[in-house]
Amino acid sequence: MNLDRRALLFTSAVAAMASGAMGQTPPPTNGGDLPAGLPQPTETINLWPAGAPGMPAAALTETVNERSTDPQLTDRAVFGITHPRMAVFRPVRSNGAAVLITPGGGYRWVVVDKEGYEMGRWLSARGYTVFVLFYRLPGEGWAAGPDVVLQDTQRAMRLIRHRANDYGVDPERVAAVGFSAGGHACADLAARFAATVYKPVDKADQLSARPLIAAPIYPVISMSAPHAHPGSREKLVGANADSALERAYSPHLNIPANAPPHFILHAEDDDVVPVENALLLRAALRERVVLVETHLFSHGGHGFGLRKAMGKAVEAWPELFLEWARAQGL
């Protein structure tokens, strides 16, 4: 009798979990075959229970492009995101800390593998619970315009904290890591975590969106010439943005005194996003007496992530980041 009761409770719990998972939007997929041996996330968390605010007038269709010609190495990019969500990588043994990842893509799309899932697997293998964010894109007609990304990053941080018990993480130990344009999203969150950019929708929005630490990796920072990345700038603030709009969305010009500690990484030979972006952010943080660790590598180019760093000195960056992050309590 006891065994039957335990079995019934177990079955009910599994059914409840399945029901909850069914209510979430699956991870982006192009429906093609995927390489064997690379775990794909199956668990997602939708950010907005009643739908994302400020839907574009023109309907969007979520589209995934496969940019790799190697069948053993995916390089997907997604755009037309109407259901912003986090893909979850759970560790086998949690260390109690979480990481929110914002992949890059020039605000044209969101990179799935190179700056998302690969980091998710790497960090979760080291005990971190990882949430890869597929955020809405500012050039696709959302009512919030350039604030649409900050809406999603703030909401994501608050949801991670709200659901900390579900994932066995400490709500105080949540980091933000971003790459390229996702590095801008990360740095903007670290600068404007307290800005009011959407109306609260539930209890999660009572929580802080400030990350414990922020790690913008080869980040887009400035929205002004000569250092702005033209593509990201055009998608975020528009090609004809005035100086006030440029300033509002250049994180180094909006650093609060209580900004989180930063880890900044860039390659000197980056021919896409000039290294001056990292230097501008570093100088602004130091002026506000915010702890910052900066690593500049002579070679690495842009968008190296994990896969394109192999065999170069910049390959050391993930371990450098973790060593620093642990010292900050992550």
Using pLDDT thresholds of 50, 70 and 90, give the confidence band for residue 16.
Answer: very low
Angle between helix 181-192 and 148-162 (nearest 10): 70
Domain 43-327, second-level architecture: 3-Layer(aba) Sandwich (3.40)
- What pLDDT does residue 73 have? 84
Q: Taking the domains of the chain in order of start, what are their residue ranges?
A: 43-327
* Residues 165-188 pLDDT 10s: 999 999 999 999 999 999 999 999
Helix, coil or strand: residue 319: helix
**E-assigned strands of the chain?**
44-46, 63-66, 76-79, 85-89, 98-102, 110-111, 129-134, 174-179, 214-217, 262-267, 292-297
Q: What is the residue-averaged pLDDT of the chain? A: 92
* Overall average pLDDT of the 312-323 stretch: 96
Model pLDDT for residues 203-243, shown as the tens digit of each residue = 999 999 999 999 999 999 999 999 999 999 999 999 999 99
pLDDT of residue 18 exceeding 60, the answer is no
Higher pLDDT among residues 7 and 153, named by residue: 153
**pLDDT tens digit string along 234-289?**
999 999 999 999 999 999 999 999 999 999 999 999 999 999 999 999 999 999 99
Residue-wise pLDDT tens digits, 20-76: 444 799 999 877 778 777 889 999 999 999 999 999 999 999 999 999 888 788 889
| CA angle (186, 188, 192) in 5-degree steps | 125
**Span of 7-16, 157-166, 188-197, 308-317 with lowest mean pLDDT:** 7-16
